[in-house]
Amino acid sequence: MSNHIRLRKGLNIPLKGEAQPKITKTISPGIVAVKPTDFKAFNPRLLIKEGEEVKAGTPLLADKKRADIKLCSPVSGKVKEIVRGDKRKLLAVTIEATDTNEYQSNEIPPLHSASKEQIVQALAQNGLWAAIKQRPYGTIPDLDSKPKAIFVSGFDSAPLAPDYEFTLKGEIANIQLGIEVLGKLTAGGVHISLHASKYAGSPLHRVEKAIIHTFDGPHPAGNVGVQIHHISPVNKGETVWTIDMYSLVAIGKLFSKGIFDLERLVAITGPRAQNPSYVKAVPGICMSQLKEYVNKESKEDLAVRYVSGNALTGDNVSESGHLGFFHNQVTLLSEGKYHELFGWIKPMRLKKFSLSRSYFSWLFPKKKYALDTNLNGGERALVMTGVYEKVTPMDIYPMHLIKAILAGDIDKMEALGIYEVIEEDLALCEFVCPSKTEIQEIVSQGIDLMIKEMS
């Protein structure tokens, strides 16, 4: 029996370029990057050298403070480069992949007899402990952490998000095994949230040893943070874990085959995508391998922005960048580097979308828009409009929380819900913000302050 939760606040952004349910290519890895920056509060220490041969599953990096937590190579090949930034900050390890993937064999304890400690060590040593995020803060949990429950979102409501019914239809056995593995790590059970409209036809609702919930409503209904808020809110002193469906599949493969296999279906989406569809790939592939999916014909002759992830929370990685560890989508957008004469005072703006009724988009609720990255204005002082609350289906005051973060007031941050949110949960506030404020960056600064002051 499922628990049904209906959300009324939020916003579905009508963006053009949804991926069609077909696989059009298997991407040869080429140069693959493992980026420690994908993992919040992970302090990397190198375990390999340039020129060294590795297999899929070979540890590349370890956390300086928690040496058992490792990041592993998703492909076999040769370490091409150690990429560093300012002050020699380690940004990535790039690997020149071989044509055929060779997996490192791992001795994984049988699940039926494995202890909690053995499971934790197996996940940590084989690169999948880092796939778990702890709330609060969205960081990698400590190995001895005891969560009150584990949460998985079984659908994605972000703009042009991949359809899990298509991408995971052959992975139910691995999902089931992943649930059983994680179930041994908490007394509160594994909670999976599904979309109410697809619940009956989804094979995910038949998985065992999981607590099923259904959600209905606009984005961010698919965000696991929103789901946690309505199922079991995180209070001070409590921790919960979250994991995405693709990492759950990888855990199932690790315990069934003994290999570190991150291959997944990645959606190629966005207004500048031609033949938007799905490709088979691994995290870390270079965006230059997707050039054939880029529609270079644009009336405004605008450059293309490569976004690893969705249009709201993804990373602007450029054509030479790489797909992030947690991303199963690439969004191709037009760079909005242009000035619009008269701007918002134009009487007809049929190609523009707005949450308010400033434009005529509200007359065409089913229309899709080729939105670009133009801010349509400049950053200005925060204005109390109440618009944040319209798109935040949580019992918090996002405007007041943002102000508390800017003021560095930890007591108010705690009282206003900093333990319940990470950047993605307030991404819609940034989209609708009339002040063009970088809300996600502010939330990230607030979380960093909490980690520093509360550690």
Q: Which residues of the chain have pLDDT under 50?
A: 1
CA angle 316, 321, 325 (to 5 degrees): 85
**pLDDT value at residue 339:** 77
**pLDDT value at residue 357:** 77
Task: State pTM to two decimals.
Answer: 0.95
b/e sequence 346-360, b meaning 16+ C-beta within 10 Å:
eeebeebbebeeebe
Q: What does the alpha-carbon distance between residue 52 and residue 70 come to, in Å, rounded to a whole number?
A: 17
Domain boundaries defined on the chain: 3-27+116-257, 387-454
**pLDDT value at residue 231:** 97
**pLDDT value at residue 1:** 39
Nearest 5°: phi and psi at 21? -75, 70
- Enclosing H/E stretch for 52: none
**pLDDT value at residue 79:** 98
Which numeric CATH code is attached to 3-27+116-257?
3.40.50
**pLDDT value at residue 198:** 84
Contacts of 155 (CB under 8 A, 6+ apart): 164, 193, 194, 195, 198, 215, 222
Token readout for 289 is 């391998």
**pLDDT value at residue 212:** 95
Question: CA gyration radius for the chain?
Answer: 22
- Enclosing H/E stretch for 72: strand 70-72
What are the residue ranges of helices labelled H in 347-438? 387-390, 398-407, 410-415, 427-432
Q: CA separation (Å) from 98 to 8, 127, 233?
A: 49, 20, 46
3-state secondary structure of 314: coil
